[in-house]
Structure formats: C-alpha cells, structure tokens
C-alpha cells in the first residue's frame, strides 16, 4: 500500500537521542548513567509519574518533586528544581530531520507532529505550527503513545485514515502500536535512513534525495 501522509515524533527524531540525553544526565547528576531510564522503565512509581505528566494530569513541579524523590531513594542526591531541564539539556536539534519534514511538506505531503510531552519548555526553539500541518501533543489531549487514541487523533487532524499514514518514531514499541492500527512505521535512527524508508512507503524518490543534500 502507498501511504500519503506522515506523523513525526519529536524527541529522538527532530532532536538527538532522548535515551542518550537521559544517560548523560544520569552519569553527571546521579552517578549512574542507567538509573533514570531504569526507573522510568521499571519502577512503578516513576512510571506512574511519567504517565500522569505526559497525559497532562501532573504538572512540571509535581513530576520533578516525585521523580527526584525516586532518584534519591535509589542513591542519587538530586534536586527537584529544574530537574526536567537538566534531563533534557543534552538534546540538540537534528537539522537534517527538520529539513526532511520541510521537504515533504513542500512537495505536498501532509505532515504532522505526534509527541508525548515532557516539561513546559520541551518544544522551545521549534515553531511547530509553521513546521507541521497538524500538531498533536499528549499533555494537551490527555492520552499518550502508545495509546491507540492518540494515533487516531493525529491521523484525523491530517485528514487521513490510519492506513494512509506513516509514523516515524525512535522507539520501536511506538511503531508496533502504530502498525497495529494499520499505519506504516519507521523506527528512526538517522535522517538519511528515514528518508529512504519514507521513499519506499510513500512511493517516491525526492524524499531521500532531499535528506542527503
């Protein structure tokens, strides 16, 4: 099937790796590079804090206070003040992927953002309404990936059925969830590889050429 629209994740796609950023924070602030991700992935209380924050039910201060407490409980002497900013401080803009989004849109392909939000300033420096035809952010919708409903909202805002849309995300589990809904999926690692996959899924060649310029 040839698809006709694309949804992009934010962190780890339009930016450098979130996993690497959290590991850097863990090494510098916690004395353990793997601690933040271990807690967010397997500690029930940390997972609850992240889910409630990404769904807009827990504000920045609440998440920072709660997660700092979980980190301290596991031996990391960290402050809650500015915790989210420190966790994200190593993220940098991925200009090649940003250029890929712009190239698609210039060629008439509907493009949207579909993102789990973390912190009030996580999109600073990105003019999302100017970059995308539609923006869907978990904290504003009250539901997060990999929930089926968030993907449906993103597709609806692009005016496309899920079967017509490709999801680009750096986390494989989010692509698995999209594919269960009938969407195409690309696990993002670098812009040139993603462009090649979109070339195939959209049935075109200009996408890859633009990403390699």
Q: What ranges do the domains of the chain cover?
A: 5-16+92-212, 18-88
User: Using omega within 30 degrees of 0 as the cis cutoff, is the peptide bond preceding 146 cis?
Assistant: yes
Kindly state the helix (H) or strand (E) to which residue 186 belongs, with its residue range: strand 184-187
**Residue 122 C-alpha from the chain's centroid:** 10
Find all residues with CB under 8 Å of 76, minimum gap 6, and list them: 29, 30, 31, 32, 35
Q: Is the pLDDT of residue 4 over 90?
A: yes
CA atoms within 13 A on the CB side of 73: 10
Q: What is the model's pTM?
A: 0.93
pLDDT, residue 2, reads 80
User: pLDDT band at residue 206, thresholds of 50, 70 and 90?
Assistant: low
Beta bridge partners, 170, equal none
Between 29 and 206, name the one with better pLDDT: 29
Question: By percentage, how much of the chain surpasses pLDDT 90?
Answer: 93
The mean pLDDT of 44-72, rounded to a whole number, is 98
CA–CA dist 43, 150 (Å, integer): 24
Q: What angle do CA 20, 173, 9 make, to 5 degrees?
A: 65
Structural Rg of the chain based on CA atoms: 17
Q: Report the CATH fold assignment for 5-16+92-212.
A: Rossmann fold (3.40.50)
Beta bridge partners, 187, equal 169
pLDDT, residue 180, reads 97
Q: 121 phi and psi, to 5 degrees?
A: -110, 15
The mean pLDDT of 51-60, rounded to a whole number, is 98
């Amino acid at each position: 099937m040839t698809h006709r629209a694309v949804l992009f994740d934010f962190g780890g796609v339009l930016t450098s790796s979130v996993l690497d950023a959290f590991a850097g924070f863990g090494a510098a602030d916690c004395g353990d590079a793997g601690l933040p991700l271990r807690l967010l992935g397997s500690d029930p209380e940390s997972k609850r804090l992240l889910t409630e924050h990404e769904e807009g039910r827990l504000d920045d201060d609440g998440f920072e206070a709660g997660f700092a407490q979980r980190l301290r409980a596991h031996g990391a002497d960290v402050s809650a003040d500015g915790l989210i900013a420190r966790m994200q401080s190593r993220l940098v803009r991925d200009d090649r992927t940003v250029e890929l989004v712009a190239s698609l849109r210039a060629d008439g392909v509907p493009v949207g953002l579909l993102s789990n939000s973390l912190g009030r300033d996580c999109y600073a420096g990105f003019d999302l309404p100017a970059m995308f035809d539609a923006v869907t952010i978990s904290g504003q919708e009250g539901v997060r990936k990999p929930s089926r409903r968030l993907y449906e909202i993103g597709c609806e805002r692009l005016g496309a059925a899920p079967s017509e849309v490709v999801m680009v995300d750096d986390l494989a589990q989010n692509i698995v969830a999209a594919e269960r809904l009938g969407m195409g999926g690309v696990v993002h690692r670098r812009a040139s590889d993603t462009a090649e996959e979109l070339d195939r899924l959209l049935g075109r060649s200009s996408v890859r050429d633009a990403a390699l310029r």
